[in-house]
Every structure is written in C-alpha cells, then in structure tokens.
Structure 1
C-alpha cells in the first residue's frame, strides 16, 4: 500500500465536493380561501369552499420552497386540524423549531417538529413539502429524484361522485367518460338511510355501465356505518360489482374493520383510521385494511408518506395515491412521490385542482386519457401564481 497516496484519495471526497449546508432562515404562512365548482359531500360534512395554508420557506443562502397544508374544506370536521390551526401551529411552534437547521438535514427537521408539537400531521406536512421543494430546486431536480426517480410519468386517476343525487352523479360520470378524463369513480355515500344509499350507488353504477362497461366503481362511506349495517349492505355492493369499499366503520374501530375485511371478498380500505407509517404497521399487522391510500398531508409529509408506502410494500398491501382536496401545489407534491413508488396498482385520486374553481399555479396540473400527468420541473415541478394567491388570500 502506498500510504503517501491516502491524502490525495481523501481529498477527492472533501466537503468541497458536497452540497454546502444551508440553514432554514424563515417560514411564512398565509391562508387562501378558494371556492369549489360544486358542493362536495361527505357522510360527516358538506362544503362549497376549500381553505388552504400556503407555506413559504427561505434558506440563509436564498433558496425558496413552497408547501401546502390542506384538510377537506379547510375545517376540522374530517381530521381535527383546520386551516387556522395549521397556520397557528406552524407560526408558533414548527417554524421556530426548524429555523437554523440545515435544509438537507431532513430527519433532524422532522424530529424538531415532533418535539415542538404532537400530532398536527397536516401542519408538519406543509413544512415538509416546502423543505422538499427547496431541496429539489437546490439540486436542480424534481422531488421524485430524491426517492429513486420516476417509474411513471402519469398515473390513472379516479373521479369523485359526491353530489348525493342519482341523476347528477350519472350525468357527471358520463361527462368524464366522454372527455376521456376518468373511468374509475368513487361514490360518496352514507349521508342518509343505508338501504337507500346502497340502492342509489348500485343504480348509479348500473346506469353508467350501460354506457361504458369497463368503468370501475368504488364507495367511500367516511365512517358512516356500524358493523351490522356493513354485514347487511356491503354484500349487495360486492354482488353488484363494486371494486372497493373505503372506511365503512368509525376510525377507532380497528377490530371491526378487520372482521369486515375477513368476511368480504371485496377489498376494504382504511382512511380516517390510518394516518402515518406507525399506523400503517399496526393496521397491516391487524389485517384491518386490504389497501392503503397514501396521503402526503395525513401522513405527515412526503418523507413519512414514503416510509408508510415502504411498510405497505413489505407487508404486500397494494397502495393508491390519496388526496385531501389540495390545490395544484399539494397535488404536485403527491404526484412527485407517487411517480417514484414501485407499484401503484390502484392509481390515484388526485383531483383537487379539478374540484377548485380557480388554480394557484401558472400552469395547472394536466389530466388526459384517464390519467394525471406528473409535473416536470425542479422541486414540486409547479410555479406559483402569486397574483392569484394574493387575490384569494385571507390576509390582504
């Protein structure tokens, strides 16, 4: 061995060849209130607006990253957080905790946020997305490259039928098929009598199947039923040809979800009852979900949603990309992650931009041939329309 060459070899791997540290300098938030194109129904709530929290992160050396915190309607009915609490938690706790930490020290940023606040996954996700956006821009790469690179440039995308009216949903589905935008449909039911809601779902699917036999239907109950109701009516949906049932029982009833899943051939998927990668491990071990809808916001950010997807892959649980009515900003974050995951057999439901009456980016997310296109640019891959953001901002 030539010891005199060791210094030369080590110099090849000096800090000068690495990306320099760049501490987070500031994080700013603002609430943006956007109208929806039409009423959106859940079994536990109805809304015609969507409030979002936009995060602007800046580093010491001038990098800027953008993130978004979004819960359905921006209110607390779905998961406890709302736009007001997301902003407050970031401003008062998360931002002070992470400022000064190197933008590339991602696990340190996550740990600092956990020390500053328990739970508040959507608030943490908004900061996490901004971190990813800044790091991607600094590297000149899309966020997907940070997770191994894209394995797909577009993803099959479903459409939500959430009007609560048979005729309206049928016509909506036909329009989507004619435009070749969607051919998988998620029906929102559970707002009323279980027998009538089941019949409405089946009648809707049968009417659409007459036009397009290859259309796929799923149902989202948003925790509306109890276990006996599931045992009575889910077999009817299964016999009718529905492909999947989402969260039929209350979020806390993991044992009931496991019993329902064991008795049905149709896949049963947890949503409200499954949040981060720790919940994923517990749910898969308990067999309380047959599928996993990966959500960036609910999962605590892109990095932790990736970890949850890896747990699902290890457990052999199929995944799909799920949403919380994000704008093109939050949608881009999800698509960057989903484009890099090894398998997406159930596609995604990233349709927030299509439900909003206006867009917050200069070039909206693109949908064509039944798929949603993954943005190409650095970071999240989208450019913010600051005039639109100012127009819809709650704080003028």
Structure 2
C-alpha cells in the first residue's frame, strides 16, 4: 500500500447537449417570456485520483447558460489538481474562491456543482457504498411524482392518458403545469385531472412564476377545492414575502426554491416562512455540499423538502433526509445513462450500486460539443 497521499490527478469536462423528443412549453412560453425548450445543456465532470479512483458529476442548464457553465468550469478546474479528494468542503471553497469575482451564486455555483457531485460520487465508490448509504440513509425508497406528462403543450385528452401511464408505472403523484394567461383553462385542466384521478390521489400544480400576488391568491383560493399537495412557484422566484403571505393564508401548501442558487437565497425563504415545501436543486445550488446545508436549515424550520429535477442524484439525497421528501420523476435525462431507476407502488427505489450508480451511455459522446482535460491519468 502506497504511503503517498492520494490526490486529484486528472479532470475531464464535457459540454453535452441532450435533445428532447418534443419542444417543451410551460407558462413562461405561453406568457411570451421564453421559447419552447428543445434541448438541455449538461456539464459533465469526471475526476480521477493518483490511486485510480474515479467519480462522475454533472450540472445542467435549460435554454441559455450551458456554454457559460462549461467556460467557467474550465477556468476553475486546475485549482483542484493536487488536492485531497476527501476534503470536499475544502474543494468547494477553493473552486468558489477561484472564480469569486463573478459571485457565489448563479452560473458560477452551478459550474461548481458538477465538481462537487463528482467528488461525492468518488468518495462513495471508494467506500463501496451508494451515495445514499454514505450520507446516512433513512429509507430505501422515496415517494415520487411525475411532471413530464403534465406540460402545457400537452392537450387535455393526452394529459389524461399520461396520468394513466404514470400510475401504471407505479408513480405516486402527478404534477400539472398551470399559469396560462387564460385562468379558465388552468381551472378546467386541474378539474378534469382531479376527477380522473379521484379525490385521494396526490396532485400538484406548478405556475412557473407567472402570477402576480392578487392572481396567485385568487387562484390559490379556487384551487383549495382540489385537495392539492402543493401550489408551486405561484410568484417570482425571489419574492419570499409574497410566498410567505400565500403560505400563511391558504390551506394548500406553497412550494418554491428550484431557481435559487445558493444557501443564502434559500435561507431568505426559510427565515421568512416563504414555503411549506422547499425545492432545492442539487446542481443549481452548487452540488451536494450546499444542498445538504439547505436541507438541514429547512428541517430545523419545520419545512418539507421536494428536490427539483435530476432524480438520478436527488433519490440519494432524499433517502438521507429525516423527514421523507417527494422526488420528482423526470425521465428526460435517462438517455445520458446506462442505468434506470426503479419505481414501484408509488415510490422510487434507492439504487444500491456504488456512488450515484450511473455510468455514461454511448449517446453522450455523440451529443458532446466540447471537452477539456486537466492533469494526467493515473
């Protein structure tokens, strides 16, 4: 056994663009703020040590931002060479300070997220444990809900078919997109889906920040009749006070947080009671290290957690939380990986493979536009 300290010796970055089968539209498209989404930019990071241990991490961007994440990651990557891979918090801080002049949130944090996830994956693999077990798992399955079948570009009849498909797969909840300029269409869709599912089946809605405060209150009161698990992003993602007012006055829980990109931004919502369900996104907030800080703060404040997107990562983080979260079932990223997550009886099964339990599929090479390598292979 070598007495020399194991260090990070090689890093590979890839800028990969995942094509979506159909253009995706939510309320931000119908209100004219964005165009339909046709692809997702993925920032992959592979890290290898002097002892040959390897880890895989990723971050992502929808619509703009992918090339910017890759560019920032290239600039800060050399700061990790020669570092001890065990010291993940130290590595996060070093990467943050390497690019400190552009801030500690947004694109800069998202770029760091790919490195952070890779180091956690490496650590779990080296220990022969799943990431969930390394973090201290509380459960071996987590309740899950589907979002991908409920977007606004989907006609109502197809929406009902999608809910049946999700239930047949064993998914435990359904989320619908709302926030259209014509409120009546939102009410009709939610009403029809609730009747189709029955009164007890878990149902959520997501307005994607497209209401103002009066509209959100009116719609929230109308939606009380549908027994929703939550109303998601009814207001601008930074309006903590507005979300807090809704949470205080409506019986239906309020959910938000997916667009926040730092622990501090989440803390603003937590301290103002701006959500009943906080929805941190691991890659967006800067990786597993800051995500777990957010989860701990939320736990002490009595908030529930429902991580946004990236189920391949979030299933592990959800398994380690004291209060059981909801995991969002999005199959969009599946073509990137060789493995598949299992769903049964309304719950997503936590993988037992070491680390994240995923490996890159052959599709990734075909969809990769840029790569960059630093250091030398072991």
Q: Report the TM range for the smaller structure's normalisation.
A: 0.7 to 0.9
- 1:79 aligned partner: none
Task: Tell me which of 42, 60, 64 is aligned to 1:70.
Answer: 60
- 2:188 aligned partner: 199
Give yes or no for the alignment of 1:342 onto 2:322. yes
Give yes or no for the alignment of 1:372 onto 2:372. no
Q: Distance in 2 between matches of 1:225 and 1:20?
A: 58
Q: Distance in 1 between matches of 2:140 and 2:21?
A: 27
Contact 1:156 1:372 in 2 (8 A): yes
Give yes or no for the alignment of 1:110 onto 2:97. no
Contact 1:27 1:55 in 2 (8 A): yes
- 2:374 aligned partner: none
Give yes or no for the alignment of 1:34 onto 2:18. yes
SS in 1 for 2:279: strand
Name structure 1 gaps, 5 residues minimum.
1-15, 77-81
- 2:177 aligned partner: 188
* Pair 1:38–1:152, CA change in 2 (3 A): farther
Q: Distance in 2 between matches of 1:269 and 1:373?
A: 24
Q: Distance in 2 between matches of 1:206 and 1:140?
A: 47
Give yes or no for the alignment of 1:388 onto 2:363. yes
Aligned length: 356
CA drift at 1:347: 1.9
Q: Distance in 1 between matches of 2:218 and 2:177?
A: 18
- 2:135 aligned partner: 147
CA drift at 1:374: 1.6
Task: Tell me which of 146, 154, 169 is aligned to 1:159.
Answer: 146
- 1:7 aligned partner: none
Give yes or no for the alignment of 1:263 onto 2:249. yes
Residues 160-188 of structure 1, C-alpha deviation per residue, up to 9 Å, x if partnerless? Answer: 111443222111102222x2422411111
Contact 1:254 1:283 in 2 (8 A): yes
CA drift at 1:66: 0.7
Task: Tell me which of 219, 223, 228 is aligned to 1:233.
Answer: 219
Contact 1:21 1:104 in 2 (8 A): no
Contact 1:188 1:219 in 2 (8 A): yes
274-283 or 224-233: bigger deviation: 274-283
- 2:31 aligned partner: none
* Pair 1:338–1:92, CA change in 2 (3 A): same
Task: Tell me which of 105, 113, 124 is aligned to 2:112.
Answer: 124
Q: Distance in 1 between matches of 2:246 and 2:369?
A: 44
Name structure 2 gaps, 5 residues minimum.
29-33, 372-378
CA drift at 1:20: 6.8
Contact 1:195 1:233 in 2 (8 A): no
CA drift at 1:90: 0.6
Task: Tell me which of 43, 46, 49 is aligned to 2:27.
Answer: 43
Give yes or no for the alignment of 1:332 onto 2:307. no
- 1:55 aligned partner: 45
CA drift at 1:381: 1.7
| Normalised TM-score (structure 1) | 0.83
| Normalised TM-score (structure 2) | 0.87
Q: Distance in 2 between matches of 1:340 and 1:43?
A: 33
CA drift at 1:230: 1.1
Task: Tell me which of 115, 122, 128 is aligned to 1:134.
Answer: 122
Task: Tell me which of 72, 75, 80 is aligned to 1:89.
Answer: 72
CA drift at 1:305: 0.7
Q: Distance in 2 between matches of 1:50 and 1:246?
A: 22
Larger Rg: 1
CA drift at 1:19: 9.9
- 1:173 aligned partner: 163
Task: Tell me which of 83, 89, 101 is aligned to 2:83.
Answer: 101
Q: Distance in 2 between matches of 1:20 and 1:137?
A: 20
Q: Distance in 1 between matches of 2:5 and 2:118?
A: 17
